[in-house]
Amino acid sequence: MRGQLCRLRRAVRQGPGLTFAAEPFSPAPGAGHPQAQTVLAYVLRRPAPLPLRRERVVTPDGDFLDVDWLEAAPERPHLLVLHGLEGSSASGYVRQTLHEAQALGWGAAAMNFRSCSGEPNRMLRSYCSGETADPLFIARHVSARISGPLLAVGFSLGGNALLKLMAETGEHAPFHAAAAVSAPFDLLACAEALDAPFGRCVLYRRHFLRTLKRKALGKLATHQGPGLHAERVRRARKLQEFDDVFTAPSNGYKDALDYYRRCSSGPLLEDVRKPTLLLNAEDDPMIPETSLPPAGAGGFLSVLRTKQGGHVGFLGGSVLRPHFWAERQAVRFLAAQLPS
């Protein structure tokens, strides 16, 4: 069974209330490779439908955010879920997380970042890894409707945004506790991994660029902005090039390097003041292991690293009867932080 049982590196739980013992992770037989974990989890993660209610929330700048609600009594814990790059509230990992919340009798709100709900948003600005204003706005919107604790989990890009939000708001964070799954901590290192010419991320890069460029060109057909040119967007062949010609200028950053420097969550982690789980696989094809926080980060952080798991993969069980480990661990961690 060599390579099947992944050794967990648990953080030193020095922060208040960080009492959590993760379940061991065993990759599904034949799916131990990081690409298999990443791709098969994406393909096989098809949760049963949930009774969700969509709400369109108008933002302070006159745009909108679409939120899918899993209803529960207002005094019950509620969970805000943030998806990853080019994902949505319909992404398998989001819906699986909602199932975990439902099993505990919690309510939940799955937020779609701008232009990710199936309809283009109104403004030029869409979303990026450093987007914290919209999640904070929705967190306050949810908090106004409930009396129980509010928790949060973010995946990949949504995880980075969540960690940045937790750091920016510190002890005033709107969440009782948070969990980030497969979050990037060094955006430049991750962009370089995705852009490697003969690396293991070529297919991921092409997939992301195809939808990102389509959305960007749609926006530029109706919006203008300084430094934005449709032809430069069309010519982008790497994620960093796309971020340089669209993501950065459309979100108020000088260029891609300025965007990566100001939005990477890694340097901000010491400012987190609420219990927060950082869950990553060391073989993540999009996030270099050298960029992951040390297992003994301590403070308000609980770092959980597995040897295998890929990117938002963590596919256990079997291919015929898959289990999705990360979503369960994230929700179990959050539940462990609630008052008994």
Active site residues: 156, 284, 311
144: Cα separation from own chain's centroid:
24
Residues 223, 216: Cα–Cα separation, whole Å: 10
**Pairing between β-strand 301-306 and β-strand 276-281 as defined by DSSP bridges:** parallel
User: Contact, 10 vs 18, CB < 8 A?
Assistant: no
Q: Comparing C-alpha atoms, which of 189, 187, 170, 186 is closest to residue 178? A: 170
Q: Comparing C-alpha atoms, which of 178, 151, 191, 150 is closest to residue 269? A: 178
Work out the number of other CB atoms within 10 angstroms of the CB of residue 211: 13
Phi, psi for residue 260 in degrees, rounded to 5:
-60, -45
> What are the Cα distances from residue 97, in Å, to 237, 304, 319?
33, 18, 19
User: Contact, 238 vs 294, CB < 8 A?
Assistant: no
> What are the Cα distances from residue 202, in Å, to 155, 177, 196?
21, 35, 8
What are the DSSP calls for 214-241, one per residue?
HHHHHHHTT---TT--HHHHHH--SHHH
User: Contact, 131 vs 161, CB < 8 A?
Assistant: yes
User: Contact, 83 vs 110, CB < 8 A?
Assistant: yes
What are the DSSP calls for 78-98, one per residue?
EEEEE--TT--TTSHHHHHHH
